[in-house]
Amino acid sequence: MSLIYNELVKNIFIKSMAQYDPVIIKNIPKDWNLVGKGNFAGVFTHETLNGVVVKVYAKNREGIKEEIDVYKKLGDHHSFSKLYDYGERHLVLKKLDGITLYQALKEGIFIPRSVIHDVDQAIIYAKQRGLNPTDIHGKNVIMKDGKGYIVDVSDFLKPYSCPKWSHFKKIYNFVYYPLFKRFQFAIPFWFLERVRKSYQYYLLFSGFRKRQESYQEKDVKP
């Protein structure tokens, strides 16, 4: 698609500055909207491209080939996006509507058990396709109409075991769900961020970060 390359990919500035911080994005072209960003890439929409998003990788990041392989292995599954096209730095993906579980917690929107079930089933499916579902957490899962979707599969070829979804489910089952059944509540942003930062320290001191970095260092260009 010439529109994607000539308007967006050629002009956008995206740089990954730190291993666990979102990318820096500048020079977003007119009529393109940033809808999300992670440690490796930004995700954009355009009003003329219905039903798709464009994920553009930072120039100093590798890994797009692995993500392409993941989507090819996943094929067509309702709990994942679908790969339509790709280039050297970008992917054209099926757009998944909804809000992240992180947003739901912040806004006091109930997360039903059906969302958790959908994600568990998607993980089982991915494993059956020879993948290793990794880095699944509140910002990488969205929900809509009681259904759950995994929106980031970029680490599904990594060989290490990731505890994030297991830990999220424990908090959901033993704290969130019992409390929310009794009364609705929103969790303040400052508290969510404090929990997120504390969890990052836990991952560091538990040794998970060391195992993760041993596989990811080769994906960062100087």
Q: Domain spans of the chain?
A: 7-94, 99-188
β-strands 147-150, 99-100: how paired?
unpaired
What's the mean pLDDT in 129-134?
95
CB 162 within 8 A of CB 199: no
Q: Record the pTM.
A: 0.86
Q: Which residue has the tokens 């970008």?
A: 90
Tell me how crowded residue 160 is: count the other CB atoms within 10 A of its CB. 13
Nearest to 185 by CA among 195, 175, 194: 175
Q: What is the mean pLDDT of residues 50-55?
A: 95
Q: Do domains 7-94 and 99-188 have the same CATH topology?
A: no
Backbone angles phi, psi at 195, to 5 degrees: -65, -45
Is the pLDDT at 24 greater than 60? The verdict is yes
When pLDDT is cut at 50, 70 and 90, the band that residue 220 belongs to is: very low
pLDDT tens digits, one per residue of 136-166: 999 999 999 999 999 999 889 988 889 999 9
Q: What is the CATH number of domain 7-94?
A: 3.30.200
Q: Which of 196, 220, 206 is nearest to 163 (CA)?
A: 206
Average pLDDT, the chain: 90
Distance (Å, whole) CA 142 – CA 205: 29
CATH of domain 99-188: 1.10.510
**Alpha-carbon span 43 to 14, nearest angstrom:** 11
Higher pLDDT, 193 or 18: 193
Report the range of poorest mean pLDDT among 76-80, 94-98, 103-107, 210-214: 210-214
Given the structure tokens 């019992």, which residue do they identify?
178
Tens of pLDDT along 29-41?
A: 999 999 988 888 9
**pLDDT at res. 222:** 42
Supply the pLDDT for residue 20.
Answer: 65
Q: In this model, does residue 219 exceed pLDDT 80?
A: no
% of the chain with per-residue pLDDT over 90: 72
What are residue 46's DSSP bridge partners? 32
DSSP string, 138-195: TTTEEEETTEEEE---TTTT--S---HHHHHHHHIIIIIHHHHHH------HHHHHHH
pLDDT at 216: 55
The 10 Å Cβ neighbour count of residue 16 is: 21
Backbone φ and ψ of 163, nearest 5°: -95, 0
Look at residue 209 and tell me whether its pLDDT is greater than 80.
no
The encoded tokens of residue 160 equal 């290490």
Average pLDDT over residues 65-73: 95
